[in-house]
């Protein structure tokens, strides 16, 4: 059986202890953080080792590669990509060009990821930008307008899928109104349900056919005054599966984030009872924070997430289906077109041969 979890590992190779653990648990997928990345060959070997340890050649390897502030792969492995807000600004001048630019940008992201053996990206952010919202979203949002965010989010999804990388829309049903960073504390939103349904929930509703989505560690008083979305059966059943109509694979945001209280075992149990299909744990929530007792945390998640079965297993199979099915693509032509639009990727040395030097051509 396959465990209903996505797990990280501590370093740049799979240790003997981790290998034995993954062989026993068989997690559905893995997630990489900056701590796991040195160079192209090392990342490819690590991904091969993770899949081998889980005895699953089709295990998805996830990463957070949005561009802007959230980009685990950096030069020379991947160009520094522009933040979502810049594409949103272009949309205000020329919606058609903005959609083209986002599609190309995410097709390039997929090209870089898949060449390293990474076939799932925790992107795009479908959160609306709100003036009082915490900066943890900020320029990661495509904008404040529902139609704009929906259109550019769709373009991002299309670009990733064309490159054989499965997107994860986040943070469903919206993190933009949160005035606290859920990496550190629990945000509570008091906006009425009617207003939420007309605004923040709408971009997700427009992409309800996406293969995967990640929950928001945000408490909406109008939905469930006691529990955040990740831990709320009411929020998942009535909002995510109900109003939004999302029927793809639903994963939690990182269970090691400080917004959540209680032990990892309790967090995992409650996440699965609330209706998530898969529990995500990477122990990489706080940038610069040393990895804690990762193995103990991984064991707690694996012991309490249960096996992937029933409708969740069907969703998981559907989510994997597009992975690694990339279409023919000329990355240099795509980069040149983005350059014309003022949104090309870049690196410190401004070199144009990144694909060749990183072995990504």
Q: What is the per-residue pLDDT across 111-120, written as a single tens digit (0 to 9) for each? A: 999 999 999 9
pLDDT-flagged residues of the chain (< 50): 285-287, 349-361
Choose among 260, 152, 245, 250: nearest CA to 204: 245
Q: Residue 348's pLDDT is what?
A: 58
Helix (H) or strand (E) holding 22: helix 16-25
Q: Could you give the CA distance from residue 320 to residue 121 in angstroms, rounded to a whole number?
A: 12
Q: Residue 358's pLDDT is what?
A: 36
Q: At what angle do helices 95-114 and 146-162 cross, to 10 degrees?
A: 40
209 three-state secondary structure: coil
Q: Of 3.20.20.300, 3.40.50.10600, 3.40.50.150, 1.25.40.10, which CATH number belongs to 72-261+319-342?
A: 3.20.20.300
The Cβ of residue 59 has, within 10 Å, a number of other Cβ atoms equal to 24
The pair of three-digit structure tokens given for residue 325, joined into one six-digit string? 């099915």
| Cis omega (within 30 of 0) for bond into 37 | no
- With vertex at residue 107, the alpha carbon angle to CA 102 and CA 112, rounded to the nearest 5 degrees, is 125
Q: Find out whether 86 and 130 touch, Cβ atoms under 8 Å.
A: no
- Full-model pTM: 0.94
Q: Residue 282's pLDDT is what?
A: 82
Choose among 182, 198, 192: nearest CA to 221: 192
Q: Residue 293's pLDDT is what?
A: 82
The pair of three-digit structure tokens given for residue 292, joined into one six-digit string? 């804690």
Q: Residue 353's pLDDT is what?
A: 40
Q: Could you give the CA distance from residue 169 to residue 180 in angstroms, rounded to a whole number?
A: 20
| Cis omega (within 30 of 0) for bond into 124 | yes
Q: Could you give the CA distance from residue 251 to residue 280 in angstroms, rounded to a whole number?
A: 6
Choose among 250, 240, 255: nearest CA to 297: 255
Domain ranges in the chain with CATH number 3.20.20.300: 72-261+319-342
Burial grade of 89 (CB within 10 A; 0-12, 13-18, 19 or more): middle
* Adjacent-strand bridge partners of 279: 5
279 three-state secondary structure: strand
Q: Indicate which residues carry an active-site annotation.
A: 183, 253
Q: Find out whether 212 and 248 touch, Cβ atoms under 8 Å.
A: yes
């Amino acid at each position: 059986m396959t465990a209903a979890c996505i797990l990280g590992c501590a370093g740049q190779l799979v240790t003997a202890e981790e290998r034995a653990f993954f062989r026993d648990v068989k997690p559905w997928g893995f997630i990489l953080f900056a701590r796991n990345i040195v160079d192209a060959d090392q990342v490819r070997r690590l991904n091969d080792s993770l899949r081998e340890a889980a005895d699953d050649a089709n295990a998805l390897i996830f990463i957070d590669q949005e561009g802007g502030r959230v980009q685990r792969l950096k030069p020379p492995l991947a160009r520094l990509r522009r933040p979502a807000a810049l594409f949103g600004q272009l949309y205000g001048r020329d919606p058609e060009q903005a959609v083209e630019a986002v599609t190309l940008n995410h097709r390039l992201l997929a090209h870089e990821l898949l060449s390293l053996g990474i076939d799932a990206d925790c992107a795009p952010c479908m959160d609306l930008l709100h003036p009082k919202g915490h900066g943890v979203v900020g320029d990661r949002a495509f904008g404040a307008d529902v139609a704009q965010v929906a259109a550019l989010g769709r373009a991002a999804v299309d670009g990733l899928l064309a490159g054989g990388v499965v997107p994860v829309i986040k943070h469903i049903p919206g993190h933009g109104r949160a005035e606290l960073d859920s990496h550190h504390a629990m945000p509570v939103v008091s906006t009425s349900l009617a207003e939420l349904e007309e605004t923040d929930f709408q971009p997700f509703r427009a992409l309800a056919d996406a293969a995967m989505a990640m929950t928001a560690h945000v408490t909406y008083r109008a939905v469930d005054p006691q529990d955040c979305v990740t831990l709320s059966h009411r929020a998942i059943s009535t909002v995510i599966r109900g109003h939004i109509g999302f029927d793809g694979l639903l994963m939690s945001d990182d269970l090691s984030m400080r917004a959540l209280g209680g032990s990892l075992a309790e967090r995992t149990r409650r996440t699965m009872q609330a209706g998530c299909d898969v529990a995500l744990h990477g122990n990489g929530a706080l940038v610069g924070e040393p990895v804690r007792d990762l193995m103990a945390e991984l064991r707690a998640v694996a012991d309490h997430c249960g096996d992937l079965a029933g409708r969740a297993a069907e969703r998981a199979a559907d989510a994997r289906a597009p992975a690694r099915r990339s279409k023919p693509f000329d990355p240099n032509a795509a980069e040149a077109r983005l350059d014309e639009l003022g949104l090309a990727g870049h690196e410190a040395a401004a070199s144009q041969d990144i694909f060749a030097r990183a072995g990504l051509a």
